[in-house]
Structure 1
């Protein structure tokens, strides 16, 4: 998948991955990869700066944990992050429906 297609959507994808509970950075990367059947195979240099940006914005929080003698940072959604994810899902639903309508030449909004 072309990296430019992710522009504007990475933060929402990261929030969605963290909705299931706290995860360390590599687990977030792996969840994106497996959840997309390999289409979203993102490098750490893309994901970690985005996680730090989301933390600065108050949408996620992090804390250090030690597992197997190794320290790693676990990230989790805040209440503001959960709210932002809900808003972004609504935006995505409307956007993807509109794009699909144009690409498939179907009327939008769909007649009910």
Structure 2
């Protein structure tokens, strides 16, 4: 478990990124994210519902082994949001990276 909390914006970004190239169902989206980040299913399903409610994901059902499986597809609005979130993340990680990496590298170079 990470000491850094995962914000709603990061959860949105991860879900939108997973659905960017192909439609996917909730369980697979959860497993894809859990391969890299420690997050529970009970955290991600509300994110899926919120993204759907906000028009960033579309939902449709497909038959699978005698029952319906709910798939999520990113919308144009979702793609635009993902684009914005990627830029925000790049800026944010660069700012934090300065303190965690670059600043110390510069200090090491000055003392050498």
TM-score above 0.5: yes
Paired with 1:3 and 1:21, the residues of 2 have a C-alpha distance of 31
Q: 1:12: how far off?
A: 0.9
Unaligned runs of 5+ in 1: 108-112
TM-score where L is the length of structure 2: 0.84
The equivalent position to 2:77 in structure 1, one of 75, 80, 85, is: 80
User: After the TM superposition, which residues 51-70 of structure 1 pair with which residues of structure 2 at under 5 Å, given as runs?
Assistant: 51-70=48-67
Paired with 2:84 and 2:44, the residues of 1 have a C-alpha distance of 21
**Residues 55 and 5 (structure 1 numbering): CA distance in 2 closer, same or farther, change over 3 Å?**
same
**Residues 19 and 3 (structure 1 numbering): CA distance in 2 closer, same or farther, change over 3 Å?**
farther
Paired with 2:68 and 2:39, the residues of 1 have a C-alpha distance of 22
- C-alpha RMSD over aligned residues: 1.7
8 Å CA contact retained: 1:29, 1:41: no
Larger Rg: 2
Unaligned runs of 5+ in 2: 107-112
Give the secondary structure class of the aligned counterpart of 1:6. Answer: coil
Number of equivalent positions: 103
- Report the equivalent of 1:21: 22
TM-score where L is the length of structure 1: 0.84
Give the secondary structure class of the aligned counterpart of 2:98. Answer: helix
